[in-house]
Structure 1
């Protein structure tokens, strides 16, 4: 049905549609192409003059146009069953079409590509079929194309080479077949994601894939019928790229050059005729973990091996005797070390007695031990034993535990030191405490509850203590007692990013030049990426915001407060501050609540939702936007769009880019003098917008975010 026919039809059936804009009429064709959908389209009224208030529709004012035009359609996950009407191609300013996770069927109409402003097309997880549309790459601005989990089939056309602006191409879990074309990749200088997995592709892997220098994340060609050797050219890909070549028919030796050295064995599994490192299958016909004995040398071992299945009885007896002698020797060494330490006169026991053979008067030793035991301070040996037991769920409870062996102090130092309140929140009060040696530390009080969960608490704290990165605040020690739970960490001297951006006057610090802001963004991304990818627990922070990014005197950033929500949960109560260190410090009302956290991802605002790493990515994107614009998401309430709350800061920036507003209208005014970095500012804007995508599956990993930021200005 052509647009003119549709208009005639609508005027006959719905005379009131005469007042509806042309964009609205095109959208009504989508409503009529879907079976049901009464709830989704309940506010799509043909009597409206504009569709801009309809659910799932985004509009923007366009220069030269008398009224706002439709720029986005977002109807994902609505269980819509129908076809995609060709009339959507008349939406000449449409930029994003998001219909994924529905039940659309049939082919993608070629008329859709008359909407030449399209840059993002998300149709994954539907029932669409037919070939890859060759005319799709006439969309010169197309950046994101996701056709995954449909029933598309046929060969990839050579016209794919015209999609030069593509950043993400996902065709996974379809029925595409034939060779992966070799001559279409060289011009895709922006491609960061390529997923062709779970199709029917056959033939060799093209050497040209090694030229995708912008690729990040995973190159996924798994679960196809690819054959031939793994091309050595893939070694030219960035070291951060992971390969997934599983379950193909690849043969020969895995190359050992470039980025191949960073791949694990799982990248190559399911290829029976593939060999070499990192697989355990060597290319000489034997497993790399086992040797074989052949030729004349094998006869020399005839007296040693009784058969191929076991050892001779004589050798078994010899090995057993050697084992017994070794165990006896180790036992003697242990006994000697034990009695040597027991005779050490400089140690004391918390049993209330000085150790046997100690120097000095017994009374002095008794007093020292009593003081240490009363304060929960343990000797080195006892402390190490307790830390081990705490990590393994042992029975030891309480006291001051130094997690970092190179950073030791005693509890009485903490009790007698000067303390200053640094801040208050729902996670307790934080104090600055200067130890006797002049070293300042930050002390956070967690509360008084959770006495029955010490083992769980200690295990969690020790996991946090193992996280060591230049851009993450280091946890040095903790204290556990019935009426007190404390965390002792490094003190970072220059406040936090929120204070630097807003200060007392609401204006950013004059030291926050563009180069400083970019350094803060890169360092914070490195720290958060480490938490996600490399830390022992692969932590989710869950509360990324400027106040949790601390700064030192050189404006180097430090991620703080990760893992705190879990520890608060273990202690079982909201921290109160009723008396710390002798009750000399102020109180805070335990019922005090923090302001709404507008750094949260949209999916994090639903009750009972569990934190994910993609939450952190979204929150980090908001922080980037704040660094760029100088605006805070707390300056105005969130706006509800399609049942999802989105901070106005994100909407404002997206609208600015959609309307192609001058950069000077969006960037923090204090940065306008640094015109030479316009390209860098734009690049960070693009990273931030990718982080703040509404769909968490579309957001990049923090590893990718960090890599993209590192490339800016370097």
Structure 2
């Protein structure tokens, strides 16, 4: 039987087929990046920022991305995704992304993704994964990062992860940056021994010794846990279990031996204690600015209830630049009631050897879940600006919350504008009021930049929420609370919902805070309190902007300004400019109302006094003002009643 011999051309054909297989990315595993990215986008929600993802346009042109949110290599391949601060939600489709074999970094910081950690092992060569400031939750498997030897940066902070820190993170050979702060990780920290590693484990539920390899870290990286050892304080030596059992047994026997005597004594002491409390409630405290000690006792009684919650009486601190204290410290501190505002009572607590703090109780936050509340408080606690009152700590209880802030020495702007003064006591002069409104504008500008996803970055801007430090620098308070205040309560009492767009059309916009800023400007310049803020229902008294407009429209005179405001020489023109800015901010027509950026720029451009020539042009008109002055720059102001 003859042996089979293949034709001479067969090896050449096989070679050609092999070459075609290698050069065809679709057949050999490398999918079309554009098609895969479009497929990935379909798994996301709220993709308005990705409108330029066009399948007919290459994602990359060399190193320059044609599509928003991409990082490209020189050869035009996709190196990574940088989809930050876009409000995205949905699913991170790792199976689809894994088809783009050139991807090395993924960033989804500050979005709204939920659920468990995506399966990162599907993209083994990843160098960086950035998922901070989302709503991820659940336990991360110990092997979630196993074998990812190229991983250098892992950022999972400000989520709701629970359980132990994955041991596989400590096994990544070239890891240099690990951010796990503001989650609910518990247990001990694994042994990390990588060179040049920087970590942040602050504000979790970790305990035990800090591993030897992390002793060179900044102490703030471990704040908000129950950890010990360098760089924190030394660990206390623990007793062995057998000795603990002996001590506990002896203690129980001792308690049983004296319990009968205690019951006998308690009955006598109870009567005596009731008499003492009654005496304290009626005894005046001469050192206190308030009439009695009843406020202090009331605060202590209220705070005692927090010790019996599921949190065990623990404050959750948000800042690492302040000395920490516990709820017990507040219980021991003397306290004054500062007032009862829209949300609840505020107390000034004088802590031993520490600056005083303000504790504010909120009852109208019961509709927000614990995880959502924690995440939002962490976001507000991360804000830092000279004109924002910093949020130091919070306490969560289902039907009531505590927020802890700094104490402002000079009280609120409202107290300086509207509280009756002695005849010889001066009011705020023009220079101080200009300084205050510039600081307010800067604080609002920072809120708008840092909280772009909120339609009302402040939401409750009014003179009583502008506090003043010892140098009369303004500090905005009660900002960013709209997402956690019960909707019915917010719409009933918060200033943003007094705006024309809500009272007439039941909606707010990014320009609603601008309207509040305008009312605040007019309140500062006229010294008149916005009467409509006192109306609990809708459509009450006319707002301050309407009143100012009616005065100006009749006949412009300097009488509109607060008589207690001492003007700087040659400053009248600048006061007039600020009045015009305030009226522009109070436009009822939202389309005509200036936006926050324009308002801030105009306010920052104001001076304490104008040049002599500019002042002379105003002075030549008799009383220094005229109706023509209000028409400068084609200025107009419309009100629709």
Smaller-chain TM-score bracket: 0.3 to 0.5
Q: TM-score, normalised by structure 2?
A: 0.48
TM-score (norm 1): 0.43
